[in-house]
Amino acid sequence: MNSSEAAKLLGVSTSTIQRWVKQLDLPMERNERGHYHFNDKDIEILQEIHEKLQSGTLIQEIAPIKEKKITRKGIVNTTEKNETFEKLLEKVNKLEMGLHAKADSVASYQLLQHRREIEELQQQIKELTQLVEKLQTEMNEMKRPPQIEKPLVLDNGKVKRKKKSFVSSLLGL
């Protein structure tokens, strides 16, 4: 029986049972989880301690029992746990593979997006380079000194002009 069952049987709290075992250094069995396990002999010892304390004896005056017991070791059914563990491990592996696949697809998508953005930026740079070259050409033309117009050829001191026809002179052309 465990600590809480023994405590109910004796009419005390679970912590009282545990305190008695520790303070009196009682040789009680423990299971694989470290919990106390009491048999009929252990219950008789605890009842004696309880009666002594009820009669007014101090806990320090109760002589400890030096007989030590071996802790109980449980046997775990490993085949069942191994199968469950294997299934769980398989599920975790599948989830990890799915996670890696998703991460790879996200990374691939991001790389494609960045590549498109880079190509668009390269096109803009190309267009800006052409525009800069055009503007430089126009500025160079503006900086060049104006060409002197060819002088008019004078024939005997008079400028030769093309004669206008009568109709074009009337129309003002």
Which range is least confidently modeled, 19-28, 86-95, 133-142, 158-167?
158-167
SS3 letters for 75-132?
CCCHHHHHHHHHHHHHHHHHHHHHHHHHHHHHHHHHHHHHHHHHHHHHHHHHHHHHHH
Read off the pLDDT of each residue in 130-137 and give the average, rounded to a whole number: 95
Quickly state the pLDDT bin for 162 (edges 50, 70, 90).
low
4-30 tens-digit pLDDT: 888 888 888 888 888 878 888 787 888
Asked if residue 24 lies in contact with residue 59, where contact means CB atoms within 8 angstroms, the answer is yes
CA dihedral over 23, 27, 33, 37, signed as positive or negative: negative
